Structure 1
Amino acid sequence: MRWSRPLTSTDWLLEVRASIERGPHPRSAYRPGASIATGRWVHQLGAWHSAQPYTGEAEGWAHAVRQAGAHSVSIGKLHFRSTDDDYGFTESLLPMHVVGGIGWAQGLLRNPLPSYPEAAEMGAEAGIGPTPYTDYDQRITDRAVEWLAANAGGERAFAAFVSLIAPHYPLSVPEEFFAPYRDLPANTPGIKPDISPQEITHPAVAAMADFFAYHRAMDTPTADLARRAYFGLCTWLDHNVSRILAALEASGATDDTLVIYTSDHGDMHGNRGLWAKSYMYEDSVRIPMIIAGPGVPMSAVVDTPVSHIDIDPTVHQVMCGGSGGAESLVDVAHNPRAERLGFSEYHDGGSITGSYAVQLGLWKYIHHVGYRPELYDLDDDPDELVDLGESAAHAQVRNDCLDALRSIVDPQAANDAASASQAALIDKLGAPAKLSTQFRINHTPAPAG
């Protein structure tokens, strides 16, 4: 989702945009997953998989904020290992962690890929009405509003990480938020249902599509319902963000607070017949990134690629007196440039090999270790429908993109390290048969309360 092409136009979203759009919103933001906490890439952390949750051992911005004497509070979903770990916050309210301190261990099985019948839940749960996740979001928002009212206007500096669930599936939302999309036309811009998973020719992508197979529980009416519910969940999210920003405004701290609005990943929501995350296509890998606050240019749209690793130096710069030489989001806002690399990587469940994406100018290059690459011209082909990965005329472009990728990571070495790490974890947790039967999960249950 990009603010330059919003799919929603409700009052709640307009309120959120009016509150946040004083700052720049880059059009190109990429997601390196767990790197939000530390400002380091997945391959630098060795956090290859959902069953390797963050423990706080590699310290991040929350530790630095606490060490600087400020509040560092988390409210909501974390997906770290356990509340027993020191992951940096002075307090964690309503945290959601991975199940049993392990998480989705079934996804460690990548060769061969197991069956994943839990994927059918996405279609079965699509509909209208509240879910444990929307109830959890309500509690997170209420607690965030309370916390800001009690703390934001005080003398002690603070960093509040408020983490909501929406629009994560289950794809069901209360009627009030579903209603604006009830009559949404099937040809809504951005939806590309004309490609089916059976038409996917790349072996690595096809294997992932066959593993997750959300489409098998999605006939056309169910898919249309799921999309409408997804858009409704985005509006539900906007409603809650609006409440949080209003609480910040009421505290009197808005003018002294840097606000960062982002998401952990996108969603295919039926494009190419695919659902959820994990793929290297724009629907999945692109995220919103909006900042507003002191020293930030107002109402600017920035085309420079940014990612989650830019959050850590931003917090250090604002809260701790310096970014340690790394470029912050505020720096990028003042010095936008097209040649900055966008990067993402994936080594998790459903993949038969490590996959990487880099954006180099207008070019989007996807590298699958051991398989042919993909290449797209995002200016002429923003939907990534014309794969130039084997085009003789674009051989030099691919070489340039591969060099750019290797300036960040050795893809083969990282793939080998991920495989070895995951094999060791399989040995530790039990035989593949045990992982297939005892660690089955589609989404983490919301915490009680």
Structure 2
Amino acid sequence: MAETATNLLFILSDEHNPKALGCAGHPFQQTPNLDALAARGTRFSAASTPSPICVPARAALATGQPLHKMGRYFDNADPYDGAVRSWHHALRDAGHAVVSIGKLHFRGLPGDDHGFSQELMPMHVVEGKGDLLSLIRDDTAPVRNGAAKMAKTAGPGESDYTRYDRAIAEAAIRWLAEEAPKQTRPWCLFVSFVTPHFPLIAPPEHFSKYPPEVVGTPKAYRPEERPDHPFLRDMANTIPYDRSVENRDTLSRMLAGYHGLVSFMDEQVGRVLGALEASGQGPRTRVLYASDHGDNAGARGHWGKSNMYEESVGIPMILAGPGVPSEARCDTPCSLTDVFATMLDATGVAESPPEGSDSLLRLAGAGATDRVILSEYHASGSRQGAFMLRTRRWKYVAYPTYPDQLFDLEADPEELHDLGADPDHAATLAEFATLLRGRLGEEPARLDAHVKARQAEILAANGGRELVEARGDLPYSPPPGVKASWS
């Protein structure tokens, strides 16, 4: 348990590439508020998401458990419903105020109890069902035409998401000023922004920070540089984001939109942190910042998330406040599933966390050690599940039948050289394959079959493929009060 129980302000963004941070050494990304938070705390340099897509990542974040262990919440049509105990439940049951403001992406149907004392302005999946098209994962899966909207709409301006995030920040500022001082026990405020998730429309003052000569060209973007792997081909054929990048102007607009949204989100973080200090609660409050997953932002010709490269599966993670080393970097691998133990530790709740969830407070003060972190992907665009194991040095990615991938993150931090077919690393591959089977409790192919059987049941319960395809494609979930825009 932490030496002193305190309040905890947990700020979550959506789709923040872990490399897109000034404090992480990015050459042009401007994030002054997150940089300042890192300077007074600890930045976790090897943090990962349990699944590189919104709904599964948020379910695992809530429960502190990997997807395979829960046997559900595998994709964006299988949202968290409160059936598995969350850290929100644990804090509330112990008598603490645990309030959420903003995006949750849970099921959100009447009667669902997600565990919060209060949900303000919650954004849940559409109709309590979410992205039903993601359930169709065979070779006949329909092409997601909504992907073209990312390129078409990229540019300066305001979107439903930037307006929503401004409102989230305002609500958080009010809560910190009016409600936080009333609390008699350590409280937790979960402020969940939706940017820099696409649409790639950034307020002009932030978009203008990233002209073409600044953003340049993404890593390994030219066709001859891109890796050729069947999982990546499946993704590109089903969700063809890059196919809509017609020319250099489109590419530059998309990059300026993404990096501009990161700066916009950082601005909202700064507003909330300023309100925390103005409330007088700052000295008694720890602050945790993270994102649900990353964004490829054009690297290797991919956009959005949904693969196991660091841009997508990696996440930013910063912890600051009482008992947290300042101006520090922790290289111990960690995950969003560690938030469960962190919440218990920070607020002094005497409950055992799920197996494998470790407090970031403990990790921050323990010095760099090694751990094996798991991430899974079973969602839109994939024909097979993807399973990642990450240590400080190695990243191993396995599929039921596709070739395994292996990256030496010490020698090749940009993941440009896949060692999966290198006979000199056959022993390392075999060790990780055995480790993965032990972690999953079965062969990846058997788990893949279980997931697809659950997805087939959900598809049938929603009228089958014909009705689901007629429902249409929803490029992104609308915030509260905004009508869904189908394509």
Measure the CA separation in 1 of the matches of 2:282 and 2:188.
13
Measure the CA separation in 2 of the matches of 1:387 and 1:20.
32
Q: Secondary structure in 2 aligned to 1:258?
A: strand
- Select the residue among 121, 124, 127 that pairs with 1:100: 127
Residues 196 and 170 of structure 1: CA distance in aligned 2, closer, same or farther (over 3 Å):
farther
CA contact (8 A) 1:184 1:228 kept: no
Measure the CA separation in 1 of the matches of 2:456 and 2:280.
52
Q: Secondary structure in 1 aligned to 2:345?
A: helix
Return the TM-score normalized by structure 1.
0.95
Measure the CA separation in 2 of the matches of 1:400 and 1:253.
48
Identify unmatched segments of 5+ residues in structure 1. Answer: none
- Select the residue among 240, 262, 278 that pairs with 1:213: 240
CA contact (8 A) 2:296 2:302 kept: yes
Letter of the 1:163 counterpart: S
- Select the residue among 113, 117, 122 that pairs with 2:150: 122
Q: Which residue of 2 aligns with 1:132?
A: 160
CA contact (8 A) 2:215 2:255 kept: no
Residues 438 and 128 of structure 1: CA distance in aligned 2, closer, same or farther (over 3 Å):
same
Note if 1:429 corresponds to 2:462. Answer: yes
Note if 1:53 corresponds to 2:84. Answer: no
Measure the CA separation in 2 of the matches of 1:62 and 1:205.
36
Measure the CA separation in 1 of the matches of 2:263 and 2:352.
37
Measure the CA separation in 2 of the matches of 1:416 and 1:384.
29
| Cα offsets for 1:101-122 (capped at 9, x unmatched) | 0000001000132221111111
Q: Which residue of 2 aligns with 1:399?
A: 430
Q: Which moved more, 1:126-135 or 1:321-330?
A: 321-330
Measure the CA separation in 2 of the matches of 1:338 and 1:194.
37
Letter of the 1:237 counterpart: M
Q: Secondary structure in 1 aligned to 2:196?
A: coil
Q: Which residue of 1 aligns with 2:6?
A: none
Identify unmatched segments of 5+ residues in structure 2. Answer: 1-17, 51-56, 483-487
Q: How does 1:325-344 map to 2 (within 5 A)?
A: 326-344=357-375
Letter of the 1:364 counterpart: K
CA contact (8 A) 1:72 1:160 kept: yes
CA contact (8 A) 1:137 1:166 kept: yes
Letter of the 1:104 counterpart: D
Q: Which residue of 1 aligns with 2:451?
A: 418
Q: Secondary structure in 1 aligned to 2:42?
A: coil
CA contact (8 A) 2:89 2:114 kept: yes
Letter of the 2:64 counterpart: G
Note if 1:179 corresponds to 2:208. Answer: yes
Residues 126 and 140 of structure 1: CA distance in aligned 2, closer, same or farther (over 3 Å):
same
Shift of 1:186: 4.9
Shift of 1:226: 0.5
- Select the residue among 356, 361, 365 that pairs with 2:392: 361
Note if 1:295 corresponds to 2:323. Answer: yes
Note if 1:281 corresponds to 2:309. Answer: yes
| Cα offsets for 1:359-391 (capped at 9, x unmatched) | 133111111111110111112222222111111
| Cα offsets for 1:117-136 (capped at 9, x unmatched) | 11111111101101111000
Note if 1:160 corresponds to 2:186. Answer: no
| Cα offsets for 1:207-230 (capped at 9, x unmatched) | 111111101111221111110111
Q: Which residue of 1 aligns with 2:300?
A: 272
Residues 147 and 7 of structure 1: CA distance in aligned 2, closer, same or farther (over 3 Å):
farther
Measure the CA separation in 1 of the matches of 2:224 and 2:79.
33
Shift of 1:62: 0.6
Q: Which residue of 1 aligns with 2:54?
A: none
Q: Secondary structure in 1 aligned to 2:101?
A: strand
CA contact (8 A) 1:173 1:229 kept: yes
| Cα offsets for 1:285-305 (capped at 9, x unmatched) | 110000012221111101111
Residues 407 and 322 of structure 1: CA distance in aligned 2, closer, same or farther (over 3 Å):
farther
Note if 1:30 corresponds to 2:55. Answer: no
Size of the aligned set, in residue pairs, is 445
Q: Which residue of 2 aligns with 1:231?
A: 259
CA contact (8 A) 2:155 2:207 kept: no
Q: Which residue of 2 aligns with 1:44?
A: 69
- Select the residue among 22, 25, 31 that pairs with 1:5: 25
Q: Which residue of 1 aligns with 2:175?
A: 147
Shift of 1:96: 0.4
Letter of the 2:187 counterpart: F
- Select the residue among 389, 414, 418 that pairs with 1:387: 418
- Select the residue among 117, 129, 134 that pairs with 1:90: 117
Q: Which residue of 2 aligns with 1:110?
A: 137
CA contact (8 A) 1:200 1:206 kept: no
Residues 226 and 287 of structure 1: CA distance in aligned 2, closer, same or farther (over 3 Å):
same
Q: Which residue of 1 aligns with 2:12?
A: none
Measure the CA separation in 1 of the matches of 2:242 and 2:236.
9
CA contact (8 A) 1:259 1:291 kept: yes
